[in-house]
Homo-oligomer: A and B are copies of this chain.
Amino acid sequence: MTMDMTTSLASVELANPVLTASGCAAAGRELSQFFDVADLGGVVTKSIMLKPRSGRPTPRMAETPSGMLNSIGLQGPGIDSFIANDLSWLRQAGARTVVSIAGHNTDEFVSLAKRLYHQPVDVLEVNISCPNVESRGQVFACDPIASARVISAVRRATNPNVPIFAKLSPDVTDITQIARAVADAGADGISLINTLLGLDIDLDTMRPTLGGTTGGLSGPAIRPVALRCVWQVHQAVPQLPLLGMGGIRTGQDALQFILAGASAVSVGTAVFHDPTAPIRIIAELEAELARRGFRSVAEAVGFAHLSAEEQAAFLASRSPVAGVAS
Contact = CB atoms under 8 A, between A and B. Distances in A.
Interface of A: 62, 64-67, 69, 142, 171-174, 196-201, 203, 205-208, 213-215, 217, 219-225, 227-228, 231, 247, 252, 255-256, 259-260, 288, 292, 303-304, 308, 311
A247 B64 CA distance: 11
Nearest to A214: B228
22 contacts: A62-B224, A65-B66, A65-B247, A67-B224, A142-B173, A172-B173, A197-B228, A198-B225, A198-B228, A199-B228, A199-B231, A199-B260, A200-B224, A200-B256, A201-B255, A201-B304, A203-B255, A203-B288, A206-B292, A206-B311, A214-B228, A217-B224
Instruction: Report the copy number of this chain in the oligomer.
Output: 2
Contact of A206 (B173, B205, B220, B303): B303
Contacts of A64: 220, 223-224
Nearest to A305: B207
Contacts of A66: 65-67, 220-221
B217 A225 contact: yes
Contact of A256 (B142, B172, B201, B221): B201
A277 to B, nearest CB: 15
A66 B247 CA distance: 12
Q: Name, among A62, A199, A200, the residue most crowded by chain B CB atoms within 10 Å (CB to CB).
A: A199
A49 B201 CA distance: 36
A-B pairs with lowest CB-CB distance, top 6: A198-B224, A65-B220, A221-B221, A66-B66, A65-B66, A199-B228
